[in-house]
A and B are shown apart, each in its own frame.
Chain A
Amino acid sequence: MESRNNKGEPYPACAETVKGPSLQPRQKSNSGKSVTKRVFRFFWEWQDTLEEQWLSKMERDGWRLANVKGPFYTFVEAEPADAAYRSDYRELNETEVEEYFGLFADAGWEHVTSYSYLHYFRCLTEAADFPEIYSDSDSLVDKHRRRARRTLFAIVPYLPIWVTVMSRPIPSGKGSFLTGLYTVGKWGYVLLVAMAGYRLLRVYRLIRSV
């Protein structure tokens, strides 16, 4: 049976999530206050599928995603449910926000939270006849490219500092604070570049496998 909205049009996908009641966190009835749990877990940008699966598992275990702040996830205790999670990477300006989240809502995705340019969406799998936000590999690859570009740009602002440090002689004086600072500046950037290189390589491998 297909669900319909108030205008009688069928929902395209994930219909149950856009209906009123399920939008609210389902709290345990025996206590008025909702129980929350904060979890630290780090995912690399090439592990988005792993992260999505983990969020689904948490909800099956009765912990529904409420908030994400980098590697800190907040969950609200809720009735266990089969839900699909998808994260999208999109740099939006103010004029694009309404249209962007509107499209996802129309497609049956509930916007859970956003952190920086990462947006988390959820839909109940029982209602979903198409639980994907990217329907072809081209657009999925684009998502990874957009995110990888950010990795690359993150190292650029430190370049002038590094050049400044490298172009000057290391101040003499054994064990002085300045000497230590220069060494950190010298090798810190090298480490940053190496790290970015590794991350880009992993994303490139992911793109190849799409």
Chain B
Amino acid sequence: MPVESNQGSEFLPLTEATYFIMLSLVEPRHGYGIMQYVRELTRGGVRIGAGTLYGALATLQERNLIVPAESPGDHVGDGSRQRRVYVLTRLGRQVLGLELERQKALVSIGESILKEGGDSQDGKQKQQG
């Protein structure tokens, strides 16, 4: 079934945490893997708390943007505990793409304004000089 191009736009905008969690799940990862990956990606700039992460994973599953992955999660320590592995769904990928487009549009608007502002300030300085 083909995915409509604007399907999933109701989930936008994504919070920063959700954005990074979804980015992490382009490949299958468990919760601990997500925490580490996000920390790596942002060089420690973005930290996701355990409560925030758990809530986001639950919500994303509810909305069918991520699903538990087929591959078994890795065992912790003595193997008594298994970590659940998640991966992005097709709809999830679509939403991530839409979010990226949204952010790009925001950035380009911001850049065009700041560039103009910067130019006019340069102009003033030139006039003064």
Pair from one complex: yes
Interface size class of B (residues with CB under 8 A): 20 to 34
Say yes or no: B39 contacts A134, CB within 8 Å. no
Contact B15 A104 (CB under 8 A): no
Which chain A residues (101-141) contact chain B, with CB distance < 8 Å?
102-104, 106-107, 109, 130, 132-136, 138-139
Complex alpha-carbon distance, A9 and B47, angstroms = 17
Q: Which residues of B contact A205 (CB under 8 A)?
A: none
What's the least CB distance linking A11 to chain B, in Å?
A: 10
Interface size on A, residues (CB 8 A): 27
Whole-angstrom distance between the alpha carbons of A130 and B58 in the complex? 22
The proximity string for B residues 38-50 relative to A, scoring 1 for CB distances below 8 Å and 0 otherwise, is 0100000001111
- What would 11 more interface pairs be, CB under 8 Å, given A90-B51, A103-B32, A130-B47? A12-B36, A99-B54, A99-B84, A104-B50, A106-B50, A107-B49, A107-B50, A130-B49, A133-B51, A135-B49, A138-B15
**Interface, chain B (partner A; CB < 8 A):** 15-17, 31-32, 35-36, 39, 47-56, 58, 76-77, 81-84
Q: List 7 A-B contacts (CB under 8 A).
A: A12-B39, A88-B51, A102-B81, A103-B32, A107-B35, A107-B49, A107-B53
